[in-house]
Structure 1
Amino acid sequence: MFKATVNNKTFEIGTSGESFTVNGQPFEWDMVTIADGYFHIVHENNSYKAEVVKADAAAKTFQIKVNGRIYPVVVKDKFDLLLEKMGMNSNAGSKVNVIKAPMPGLIIDLKVKAGDVVKAGDALLILEAMKMENIIKCPGDGTVKTVNVKKGDSVEKNQVLIGF
């Protein structure tokens, strides 16, 4: 299952084989690829020309031009939806103030210290939980203000580990 947001309207998209549902209703369409990023779509006897104008696969954001009008599209897959449900929104953005422990565990390595400038995706620390090492990465750019744990500390879920 996917969720797509187009112009602030959210649609739940399901797949089963080659058929689709949108908000639980069957979605019948015919799509032909004309060239890379260009498509011809027929839906309910209406014809549409579609073009992928801009695609950021990492952020899962797109700009799609349909019959000359551009639509911003944000897509969330099942993993994004699961993270969101667990309170670990993957789109936290650059306005993060703290990093909390996503689960109880043991701090086995710290990669940053107070005053370090970090970028989105940088490794901050390694948390061992259930005999697995989990690299906790920075969700946005910033400067480390405080590191509230040290190597060897046991932490609980939602404990503040790093402040920005």
Structure 2
Amino acid sequence: MFQISTAPDQVWEVDYRATDAITLNGQPLAWDVADLGEGRFHVLYEGRSYNAEVVEIDYATKNIVLKLNGQRVVMQAKDRFDLLLERLGMSNAAVAKVNELKAPMPGLIVDIRVTPGQTVQKGDPLMVLEAMKMENILKAPADGTVSTLKVNLRDNVQKGQVLVQFS
């Protein structure tokens, strides 16, 4: 289950399971999605047609930027752990010092934009991971200094593999 928001007053509960349909706020989501490739999709929902494009996904902060019919939409996702921490008043616990960046999914390193010793700020691009025919810019999860690069250009990586270590 995820909670997706586009503004403080626009929040949706999205539940998906491999064997069941997707639900939106507890109701089955009746939609038709066609993958057009390279992060582009055509969606039919409630008799309306939408062109959707994935512009950016930041796995560390769970922020997603889409273009829906040419209009930019920024979404924030919270999983059950984020919601639990929030309920316990510990939502800032995830802001703790980050010592490494791990691959969010398996893929191929197609660009490395930092070197050991380089100081980075949260959100700075570190490298580009190609996965499922899409290029994903992996960004610094926090301010820090790159101590070690654990991968090289054109390396295949697995989900959870350490890519960069910070000091």
* TM-score, reference length from structure 2: 0.53
Distance 1:75 1:91, change over 3 A: farther
Question: SS in structure 1 opposite 2:33?
Answer: strand
Question: SS in structure 1 opposite 2:22?
Answer: strand
Q: Which residue of 2 aligns with 1:55?
A: 57
**Structure 2: gaps of 5 or more residues:** 101-140, 145-167
Structure 2 matches for 1:75-86, cutoff 5 A?
A: 75-86=77-88
Structure 2 matches for 1:63-142, cutoff 5 A?
A: 63-90=65-92, 120-122=97-99
1:90 Cα deviation from its structure 2 partner: 4.9
* TM-score, reference length from structure 1: 0.54
Bigger CA radius of gyration: 1
Distance 1:12 1:90 in 2: 22
Which one-letter code corresponds to 1:121 in the other structure? Answer: V
How many residues get paired?
A: 102
Deviations 1:128-151 (A, max 9, x none): xxxxxxxxxxx9659xxxxxxxxx
Q: Which residue of 2 aligns with 1:14?
A: 15
Distance 2:93 2:50 in 1: 31
Distance 1:78 1:13 in 2: 11
Deviations 1:3-57 (A, max 9, x none): 0001331111122434122112221101111112111111111111000111111
Q: Which residue of 2 aligns with 1:29?
A: 31
Q: Which residue of 2 aligns with 1:101?
A: none
Q: Which residue of 2 aligns with 1:5?
A: 5
Question: SS in structure 2 opposite 1:19?
Answer: coil
Distance 2:66 2:93 in 1: 21
1:87 Cα deviation from its structure 2 partner: 2.1
Question: SS in structure 2 opposite 1:82?
Answer: helix
Distance 1:42 1:90, change over 3 A: farther
Distance 1:122 1:7 in 2: 31
1:83 Cα deviation from its structure 2 partner: 1.9
Distance 1:54 1:70 in 2: 11
Q: Which residue of 2 aligns with 1:129?
A: none
